[in-house]
Homo-oligomer: A and B are copies of this chain.
Amino acid sequence: MKNFSEELEKRIKWVESVIEEFLPNEDTKQKIVMEAMNYSVRAGGKRLRPLLLSEMSEMFGMDKENVKPFMAVMEYIHTYSLVHDDLPAMDNDEYRRGRKTTHKQFGEAIGILAGDALLNYAFETGINAILTFEYPKRAVAALAVIASKSGIYGMIGGQTVDIISEGKQLDKDTLDYINELKTGALIEASMMAGAILAGADEEEIFTIERAASKIGQAFQIQDDVLDVISTTKELGKPVHSDEKNCKSTYVNLMDVEKAKDEVKRLSDEAVLELKSLKRENQFLFKLIEWLINRTK
């Protein structure tokens, strides 16, 4: 792959079009909730979860066109979690990616409803896709993983521990636990679901879950490092926000250099795990490298 960043841009563009394709029309008397859903989804971002899902499907020999609804499912679940996370009772954020957060733009009641609507719509999209997918049993298995990783033993669980830990100085085990669930779980779900849809076997899925967990952790530590070493201009969002919010991070627990080493170690291990599957996807390996060397 000569020019990774060009290829990345191309693939993200395609992912964007897929996510767009499944969004609801803004019609009926309740169209404000559709507008708020679409506003939230269109706020941008790395589109990492649907990208990982489609790349894993490709790695296991499935045409990415076939997994489109499941890509949308992952992005809608991720988006709903951000919309609710930004609410006044949660992180109380007024801006995300340079735009007003959903509840600042549409009011708090519609913010809550738009988050609910995105979660419900994600499952609606996924369940409707079961019957049109060539292998319905795989689709059910993929959705079961997605539902579990999004729920109380996954993302919502991580969010809960994060909320009740506010203002406390956390040890590394608790921080790992929060990140594994809050960030890791959806990355695991995306990679596992992509492989399940493409027919990977149980042992392969376990390997992918382990690799994805390491990618998630490396991703989170890199986020903490960037918050400390970047300037606001480089990062495109306020820096040192963790310190200001008294948030426990990996950089509190180890110095920046040690955290960087940890990111390198975790991502090397993740790539090794994935390579052990003996399936080719050069782009995916480059993507993982990029994720942990990124400067924003």
Residues of A within 8 A of B (CB): 24, 28-30, 32-34, 37, 80, 84, 87, 89-90, 107-113, 115-117, 119-121, 123-124, 127-128, 130-131, 136-137, 140-141, 143-144, 147-148, 150-153, 156-161, 163-164, 174, 177, 181
- Nearest to A89 among chain B residues (CB) is B108
Q: Is the CB of A121 within 8 A of B152?
A: yes
Q: Is the CB of A140 within 8 A of B131?
A: yes
Query: Complex formed: what's the CA distance from A116 to B79 in Å?
Result: 13
Say whether chain A's binding surface is mostly helix, strand, loop, or mixed. Answer: helix
Q: Is the CB of B33 within 8 A of A157?
A: yes
Q: Is the CB of B121 within 8 A of A119?
A: no
Known: A90-B109, A120-B147, A131-B141. 16 other contacts (CB 8 A): A29-B157, A30-B161, A80-B116, A84-B112, A115-B116, A117-B156, A119-B120, A120-B156, A121-B151, A121-B152, A124-B148, A124-B151, A127-B147, A128-B144, A130-B130, A136-B140
What are 27 sample pairs from A and B whose C-beta atoms fall under 8 A apart? A24-B152, A28-B153, A29-B157, A29-B161, A29-B177, A30-B152, A30-B158, A30-B181, A34-B152, A87-B112, A89-B109, A110-B160, A110-B163, A113-B163, A116-B119, A116-B156, A119-B120, A120-B150, A120-B151, A121-B151, A124-B148, A128-B147, A131-B137, A131-B140, A131-B141, A136-B140, A140-B140
**Of B107, B109, B119, B144, which is within 8 A of A119 by CB?**
B119
Q: Is the CB of B140 within 8 A of A127?
A: yes
Q: List, in ascending order, chain B residues with CB within 8 A of A113's CB.
A: 84, 156, 159-160, 163
Q: List, in ascending order, chain B residues with CB within 8 A of A117's CB.
A: 151-152, 156
- Of A113, A148, A160, chain B has the most CB atoms within 10 Å of the CB of A160
Q: List, in ascending order, chain B residues with CB within 8 A of A156's CB.
A: 30, 33, 113, 116-117, 120
Q: Is the CB of A28 within 8 A of B120?
A: no
Query: Complex formed: what's the CA distance from A110 to B150 in Å?
Result: 16
Q: List, in ascending order, chain B residues with CB within 8 A of A127's CB.
A: 123, 127, 140, 143-144, 147
- Nearest to A24 among chain B residues (CB) is B152
A59–chain B nearest beta-carbon distance, Å: 24
- Of A28, A90, A152, chain B has the most CB atoms within 10 Å of the CB of A152
Q: List, in ascending order, chain B residues with CB within 8 A of A110's CB.
A: 160, 163
Query: Complex formed: what's the CA distance from A181 to B117 in Å?
Result: 14
Q: List, in ascending order, chain B residues with CB within 8 A of A84's CB.
A: 112-113, 116
